[in-house]
Structure 1
């Protein structure tokens, strides 16, 4: 069983080990606890910096109708065999999660080390153990680390569209130069930079985020335009991308022209 589970994890698809619940007393028995797989791009650090991508694993409990989960479970990361290893690929994490009557999920955060080297996709493990007042359901999750630096496909580059003309609503395209679709969500921040010295005809953006979802190759960055003023002439701004969660930036800036009519 152990060999089969580890082999599946290397493929980033493996389900966790199922542990029998055992005998359940009448009334409310122990709730079952399970952890879900998490797959993200590794990320590329800014030049001269050491960065991390946060993998958030969801740990949930399932109790019988009308019953409230009460108990705790331990968690700990493990290296993949073969696969990601610590400290080169991720920061080890361990601890304990507790439920005291609420059925909400808990989150375990694991920091994965960003790098700029092309390498195969890898995986590490997150294992649940030592349940108290709970029973183990899916106790093993794979942390799938996807390469974004060009080991098996084109490296990811996040870019804006070319020049843009806007009248009432301004949405600037943001997409993957690598063609996509994305294997996991890719986020990127954007902001507006003024053109000229006149009063802006738009609502400035200091730091907003858009997400290219898994399975898509692009999205749109929205900037709100103000109602035209009497005598308003053509104006504009620059939309700039920064801090992508995966890969690097391609065309990071697009000049936008605002037409007061149309």
Structure 2
């Protein structure tokens, strides 16, 4: 009898149904919403890239609700030129839209396309602005998109190069350097090219990446070696498609020695 009564109450009063968009659960205040800054190198167009080419700035928008509560609501966003700073559409593609939450606390991403070029220019910001919250409160409504020059005017030019000749035994990691600390993450792709006609003593690489984090001056391109191979084996490690600056010494010859 009690179960039947509860079922009737739920049916008549709508208990347990989803709250309308923007509504806040009883006893819970509005969740707060914030957007985080994003700084990246502008990027230089590479061979074969379309014109124009872009670097994607992905801004994270997060919500924070009280313990036991979930966020429900929406917020709009729009890009704005900074003064002084980047201007659209010459430096970036303007965007505007809306983000919403309906009981989940996951972050959202706003992607802004920044135009790559090969001209030296000052570092320049643009802005991403959160506006018109519904069911939410703004904790941090403004984020800076920091566009770092990688062509030599806003700081040292970014030149991505491999180390010189390399000899490997048990493991093979080829150094990839910038010549100075990175101001933002730098990602570069690499692959192996065979030398000679013998059976390789390594696992060929078609497309892998090295990411050099901010503050670091280099990283390592890893090539897996095969056990039990006899005799020397050689290959070329080649860099391609860097996310910033240009390629310097893009190739290095690697020799694999047996044993060791």
2:167–2:256 contact (8 Å) kept in structure 1: yes
Displacement of 1:121: 0.4
Q: CA deviation at 1:228?
A: 2.1
Counterpart in 2 of 1:29?
29
Give how far 1:82 is off. Answer: 1.4
Distance 1:46 1:97 in 2: 34
**Correspondence for 2:121:** 119
Structure 1 residue runs of 4+, over 2 Å off?
47-50
1:103 equivalent in structure 2: 105
Other-structure match for 2:152: 150
Q: 1:164-187 deviations in whole A, cap 9, x for unaligned?
A: 0001110000010xx321111111
Gaps of 5+ in 2: 1-23
State the alpha-carbon separation in 2 of the partners of residues 51 and 197 from structure 1. 39
Report what 2:84 is aligned to: 82
TM-score (norm 2): 0.88
CA positional deviation for 1:47: 4.6
* Residue matched to 1:169: 171
Give, in whole Å, the separation in 1 of the partners of 2:199 and 2:31: 60
| C-alpha separation in 2, matches of 1:25 and 1:194 | 63
**Any unmatched runs of 5+ in structure 1?**
1-23
1:129-163 CA-to-partner distances (Å, cap 9, x unmatched) read: 11111111100000000000000433110000000
Q: Aligned with 2:133: secondary structure?
A: strand
CA RMSD of aligned residues (A): 1.4
Matched positions, count: 235
Corresponding position of 1:209: 209
Deviations 1:89-125 (A, max 9, x none): 0001111111111111111000000000000000100
Residue equivalent to 1:238: 236
Could you tell me the TM-score, scaled by structure 1's length? 0.87
Distance 2:78 2:64 in 1: 21
Q: Which residue of 1 aligns with 2:132?
A: 130
After superposition, the Cα gap between the structure-2 partners of 1:102 and 1:25, relative to the gap in structure 1 and judged at 3 Å, is closer
- Secondary structure of 1:97 counterpart: strand
Distance 1:138 1:154 in 2: 32
Question: Of the candidates 59, 62, 78, which is equivalent to residue 60 of structure 1?
Answer: 62
Q: Partner of 1:196 in structure 2?
A: 196
Larger radius of gyration: 2
| Corresponding residue number in structure 2 for 1:259 | 257
- Which string of whole-angstrom CA distances, capped at 9 and with x for unpartnered residues, describes residues 191-216 of structure 1? 01111122111111111111110000
- Structure 2 distance, partners of 1:192, 1:217, is 23
Cross-structure match for 2:18: none
**SS of structure 2 residue aligned to 1:188:** strand
Distance in 2, matches of 1:246 and 1:203, equals 28
Displacement after TM superposition at 1:26 (Å): 6.8
